C-alpha cells in the first residue's frame, strides 16, 4: 500500500458496534469485566485504550513497523527510552538537538548516573571515536533542530549495531512521509507528534516505534509503570490529522523551497540552513535517505546583528512568533531565547547555533504570501 492510502486508512476500521467510519473517542478510565480476568482485552485506561490502539496501529504502518506506543508528549516518549538505561550507561547524542531533550539528558538523567556525550555526527565515521564499552544508545535527530544538520542513518546504525548499540532516530522534523529510519537500520523511531503528525497546533503527544518485540515490551512496561499516556480525545485528533499528512507535507516542502529560493537571493541574508540546498554539507545523504527536504528552515542575517534579527522576528505578520513547528500555519522562532534557551550559550555556540539564528516552520499557506511577509520584514531593516 502506498503512503497516502496508508495515511487515510491504516489502523482504522469502522466501529464494530455502530459502523461509525471514524474511530470513537473511548472516554473511559476503566472497562467492566464479566468475572475477574474475563474481559475484552481492556482492563484499565492507563494500560489500554481503543482510540489509542487505532492511532498506534496507524503510526506503526506509516513507519513500516510492527509496534508503536503513544505518550502524553514527545518528551515523555524520550523519557521512557532513557529509563531503559542503567547508571553508568553512556548515550552518544548529536550536538544539535531540541533544547528540551538536552535539558532532560543533562539536568535530569545525568543525576541518575547516565552519561551523555554531545558530538557532531555529520561524518558518520566519527562515531567510532566516541564509542566505549559503556555506550548503549546513539541518539540522532536528522534533520536536526534547529540547524538542519543531516546524519547518515544507515551508516550510523551499522556502526552502532556492530558494537551491539541501539540507534534511536527522532524523526520529528522529517515525518514518516519523508523518511523511514527503521528501513535504514535504526532500532527505534521517536516523534514529537505535537508537530507534523498532529499538524494543527492543537495537541501535545509523542510516540516510540520499533520492530523489536523485546524493546516494545520494555517500552510498554515502563509506560504502564510510570504512566505518561495520552488522552483519547487527543488520540482522535491525531488520527484525524494524519489522514492529510502526505498532502500537508507535500505543500510544506513546496513552500519551503519557495522560501529558501527567496532567502538565498536576498542581499541581507548571510546563510540559509536547509538540507535541500546543494551547498548543504550532507545534501547527498539527505537526497538518499529523504524523499524531499521538508519545511523547516533556519537562517542568519549579514552582520550577525542581534537587534536586526530581533526586528525580523517581530516584524512578520503571517509568520507567528511562537515555539513549536509542523502545524498548517507558519511560525517564526528564535532558538537562542526560545526552544534552545536551556542549552548553555557556550554549548550552543560550539554546535554552531548562533544567537542571531532565526528558525522558520513553513506552513501550508500560499507560498507567495509567505515570501512577501518575510520580504517586508527583512526589507524594513
- Choices 98-106, 109-117, 123-131, 301-309 (CB under 6 A): range interacting with ligand P1T: 98-106
Of these residues, 15, 46, 271, 355, which one is catalytic? 46
Strand ranges inside the chain, DSSP E = 67-71, 90-94, 115-119, 135-141, 166-170, 188-192, 206-210, 269-273, 296-301, 320-321, 331-333, 358-361
Q: Which helix (H) or strand (E) holds 290?
A: none
Query: Residue 185 CB: number of other CB atoms within 10 A?
Result: 17
Residue 91: Cβ-neighbour burial (10 angstroms; 0-12, 13-18, 19+)? buried
Q: Give CA–CA dist 65/180, Å, rounded.
A: 9
Q: Give CA–CA dist 233/298, Å, rounded.
A: 33
Of these residues, 6, 83, 195, 257, which one is catalytic? 195
Determine whether 67 is an active site residue: no
**Please, which of residues 49-68 interact with ligand P1T by CB under 6 A?**
none
Binding characters for ligand P1T, 322-361, by CB under 6 A (x = yes): -xxx-------------x----------------------
The yes or no reply on residue 93 touching ligand P1T (CB under 6 A) is no
Determine whether 177 is an active site residue: no
In the complex, the smallest distance separating the C-beta of residue 19 from ligand P1T, rounded to whole angstroms, is 34
Determine whether 98 is an active site residue: yes
Q: Which residue is nearest to ligand P1T (CB)?
A: 74
**Please, which of residues 247-306 interact with ligand P1T by CB under 6 A?**
none
Determine whether 170 is an active site residue: yes
State yes or no: cis peptide before 363, omega within 30 of 0: no
**Please, which of residues 99-128 interact with ligand P1T by CB under 6 A?**
100-101
- With CB under 6 A as the rule, give the number of residues binding ligand P1T: 18
The yes or no reply on residue 75 touching ligand P1T (CB under 6 A) is yes
- Write the CB contacts of 361 (distance below 8 Å, at least 6 apart in sequence): 295, 296, 324, 325, 326, 327, 330, 331, 332, 333
Closer residue to ligand P1T, CB minimum distance, 202 or 366: 202
Out of 170, 292, 308, 373, the residue judged to bind ligand P1T by CB under 6 A: 170
- Write the CB contacts of 336 (distance below 8 Å, at least 6 apart in sequence): 345, 348, 353, 354, 355, 356, 357
**Which of the residues are catalytic?**
46, 98, 170, 195
Binding site for ligand P1T (CB under 6 A): 73-75, 98, 100-101, 141, 145, 170, 172, 192, 194, 204, 206, 323-325, 339
Amino acid at each position: 500500500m502506498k503512503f497516502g492510502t496508508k495515511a487515510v486508512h491504516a489502523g482504522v476500521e469502522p466501529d464494530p458496534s455502530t459502523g461509525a467510519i471514524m474511530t470513537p473517542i473511548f472516554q473511559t478510565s476503566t472497562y467492566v469485566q464479566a468475572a475477574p480476568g474475563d474481559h475484552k482485552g481492556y482492563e484499565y485506561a492507563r494500560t489500554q485504550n481503543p482510540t489509542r490502539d487505532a492511532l498506534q496501529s496507524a503510526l506503526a504502518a506509516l513507519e513500516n513497523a510492527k509496534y508503536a506506543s503513544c505518550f502524553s508528549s514527545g518528551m515523555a516518549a524520550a523519557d521512557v527510552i532513557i529509563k531503559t538505561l542503567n547508571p553508568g550507561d553512556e548515550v552518544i547524542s548529536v550536538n544539535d538537538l531540541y533544547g528540551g531533550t538536552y535539558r532532560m539528558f543533562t539536568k535530569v538523567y545525568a543525576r541518575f548516573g547516565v552519561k551523555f556525550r554531545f558530538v557532531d555526527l555529520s561524518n558518520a565515521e566519527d562515531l567510532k571515536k566516541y564509542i566505549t564499552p559503556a555506550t548503549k544508545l546513539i541518539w540522532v535527530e536528522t534533520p536536526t533542530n534547529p540547524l538542519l544538520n543531516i546524519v547518515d542513518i544507515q551508516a550510523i546504525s551499522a556502526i552502532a549495531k556492530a558494537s551491539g548499540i541501539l540507534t534511536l532516530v527522532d524523526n520529528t522534523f522529517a515525518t514518516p512521509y519523508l523518511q523511514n529510519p527503521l528501513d535504514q537500520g535504526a532500532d527505534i523511531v521517536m516523534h514529537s507528534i505535537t508537530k507534523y503528525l498532529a499538524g494543527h497546533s492543537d495537541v501535545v503527544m509523542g510516540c516510540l516505534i520499533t520492530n523489536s518485540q523485546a524493546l516494545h515490551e520494555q517500552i510498554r512496561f515502563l509506560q504502564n509503570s510510570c504512566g505518561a499516556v495520552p488522552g483519547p480525545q487527543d488520540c482522535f485528533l491525531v488520527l484525524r490529522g494524519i489522514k492529510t499528512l502526505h498532502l500537508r507535507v507535500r505543500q510544506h516542502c513546496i513552500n519551503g523551497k519557495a522560501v529558501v529560493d527567496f532567502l538565498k537571493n536576498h542581499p541581507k541574508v548571510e546563510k540559509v540552513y536547509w538540507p535541500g540546498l546543494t551547498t548543504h554539507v550532507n545534501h547527498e545523504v539527505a537526497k538518499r535517505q529523504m524523499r524531499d527536504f521538508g519545511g523547516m528552515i533556519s537562517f542568519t542575517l549579514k552582520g550577525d546583528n542581534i537587534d536586526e534579527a530581533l526586528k525580523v522576528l517581530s516584524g512578520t505578520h503571517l509568520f507567528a512568533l511562537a515555539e513549536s513547528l509542523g502545524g498548517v500555519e507558519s511560525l517564526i522562532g528564535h532558538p537562542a531565547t526560545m526552544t534552545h534557551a536551556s542549552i548553555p550559550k557556550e554549548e550552543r555556540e560550539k554546535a554552531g547555533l548562533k544567537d542571531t539564528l532565526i528558525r522558520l516552520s513553513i506552513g501550508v499557506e500560499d507560498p507567495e504570501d509567505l515570501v512577501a511577509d518575510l520580504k517586508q520584514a527583512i526589507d524594513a531593516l
